[in-house]
């Protein structure tokens, strides 16, 4: 039995809620006790790289890339993809694979460490190009309202919200409390948005899987 898209999304929200909860817990523990282990705090801090939240984000992004690549291969094999833009899902897979690599290798941190301009100015054109390609494909070529809602909304929530929150932090002087709130919003939106895109990919995989069974 196939899992409904909304139920799959609810399932993906569970680890995000846990990660945000752990972040809030270790932040509160550090404030209340000077003896709270810094190493444990860093393992769950959403604003720290190479820890549990960063690992989950990397896996989630790579899963989207893998799902998009499978859609590209299965769609071509069954002939279910239209002749126009047959490379769309391959481009989608490549972009998310690169974002996953960035998350794991901390490439955007290296850009920030190099000085001005910040990484958002380098990545914004990439996100804008991906969003434009997805919008054209999902409205002009692939007419599936459910798929369109998951992918487009996921990109807006994940990349638009994440980059927007990051831009606010770089553009304004924020107090420590507002900086902590910005971190939760930025990282949380990125995880939620990526989960929505993944649900959209799973939705498309179910459609192609059904087509493959009919062909057989």
Asked whether residue 142 carries a pLDDT value surpassing 60, the answer given is yes
Q: Is residue 118 classed as helix, strand or coil in its secondary structure?
A: coil
User: What pLDDT sits at residue 173?
Assistant: 62
- Separation of CA 73 from chain center: 22
Asked whether residue 170 carries a pLDDT value surpassing 80, the answer given is no
69: preceding bond cis by omega (within 30 degrees): no
Rounded to whole angstroms, the Cα distance separating 29 from 36 reads 7
User: What pLDDT sits at residue 85?
Assistant: 72
Q: What is the pTM of this model?
A: 0.87
Asked whether residue 56 carries a pLDDT value surpassing 50, the answer given is yes
| % of the chain surpassing 70 pLDDT | 79
Rounded to whole angstroms, the Cα distance separating 131 from 63 reads 19
Rounded to whole angstroms, the Cα distance separating 198 from 94 reads 14
């Amino acid at each position: 039995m196939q899992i409904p898209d909304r139920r799959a999304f609810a399932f993906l929200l569970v680890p995000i809620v846990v990660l945000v909860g752990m972040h809030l817990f270790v932040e509160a523990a550090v404030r209340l006790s000077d003896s709270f282990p810094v190493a444990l705090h860093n393992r769950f801090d959403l604003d720290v790289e190479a820890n549990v939240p960063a690992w989950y984000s990397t896996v989630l992004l790579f899963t989207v890339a893998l799902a998009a690549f499978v859609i590209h291969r299965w769609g071509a094999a069954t002939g279910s993809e239209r002749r126009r833009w047959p490379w769309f899902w391959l481009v989608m897979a490549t972009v998310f694979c690169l974002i996953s690599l960035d998350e794991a290798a901390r490439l955007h941190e290296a850009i920030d460490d190099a000085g001005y301009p910040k990484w958002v100015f380098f990545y914004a054109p990439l996100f804008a190009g991906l969003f434009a390609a997805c919008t054209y494909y999902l409205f002009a070529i692939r007419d599936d309202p459910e798929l369109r809602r998951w992918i487009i909304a996921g990109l807006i929530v994940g990349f638009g919200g994440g980059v927007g929150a990051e831009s606010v932090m770089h553009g304004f002087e924020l107090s420590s409390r507002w900086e902590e709130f910005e971190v939760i919003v930025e990282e949380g939106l990125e995880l939620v948005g990526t989960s929505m895109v993944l649900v959209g990919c799973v939705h498309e995989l179910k459609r192609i899987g059904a087509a493959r069974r009919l062909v057989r």
